[in-house]
Structure 1
């Protein structure tokens, strides 16, 4: 294995290890989404003169109350990198960007990527066993 590849693997491992996981209940999510409206989020990627512009519809939340692993309440600022993992009662899970999460008619929808606009399969709120936020 080349030293360069080894270095990249170590950095990738540290980045994954450094991510913190927080927990959220369905009831808490619904309470915090009570006054949330959908909004268009725009973004750009690249360096001049090559830019990729895009937009997705997401939620207007700027922060959210969650629980850490010690069951202490924390308030997290929502960023473009905040992810959410939904695990359903049948054990299936989906990971997507929290700021694209929308709730409509008892269903959660969202996007896996802001650039590619990859939708998740909608999930019924009643089918959710666990919600984990990652930063």
Structure 2
């Protein structure tokens, strides 16, 4: 029984952390289309303090067209827990929350920490790979 439970937990963890990819060109088109409607004010729960909310501006992207490891098209719903990992030409990686990402003057800008309010900026022409994953964090829109 204990062995079956452990196997089930491992299977759930593997499924829930599925990573998708999207080409930088395709991502750029989708993010430009979504931010044309402008940013909206949102609130999410604060996992550190249940009595306070985190407020920020979010893009209006509803779904992102992404590809799994087999090259099959999938649609990932944008939510406060979805993260993107951007790989640059120099091999460095930057992480953003998808709902905070915007493209301004060929620079990708977004939050890397909601609690601390830290942002990342990346010149768009330096991006070689974009991976998307639901980080499983307990953020929810209020």
TM-score range relative to shorter protein:
0.7 to 0.9
For structure 2, list consecutive stretches of 5 or more residues without a partner in the other structure.
Answer: 1-8, 135-142
| CA apart distance, 1:41 | 1.9
Structure 2 counterpart of 1:19, from 17, 34, 39: 17
**TM-score, length-normalised on structure 1?**
0.79
Task: Tell me, yes or no, if structure 1 residue 97 matches structure 2 residue 97.
Answer: yes
Please tell me the root mean square deviation across aligned C-alpha atoms, in Å: 2.4
Q: Which has the higher contact order (CA 8 A, sep 6+)?
A: 2
Runs of 4+ in 1 over 3 A off after TM superposition: 14-18
* Alpha-carbon distance between aligned partners in 2 of 1:71 and 1:130, rounded to the nearest angstrom: 15
Which residue of the partner structure matches residue 111 of structure 1? 111
**Counterparts in 2 of 1:17 and 1:91: CA distance versus 1, 3 Å:** farther
Q: Deviations over 1:68-110 (max 9, x none)?
A: 1011111111111111000100000011211111111000011
* Alpha-carbon distance between aligned partners in 1 of 2:95 and 2:68, rounded to the nearest angstrom: 19
For structure 1, list consecutive stretches of 5 or more residues without a partner in the other structure.
Answer: 1-10
* Alpha-carbon distance between aligned partners in 1 of 2:125 and 2:48, rounded to the nearest angstrom: 44
Residue 61 of structure 1 aligns to a residue whose secondary structure is: coil
* Alpha-carbon distance between aligned partners in 1 of 2:59 and 2:77, rounded to the nearest angstrom: 13
| CA apart distance, 1:17 | 7.1
Conserved? CA contact 2:32–2:103, under 8 Å? no
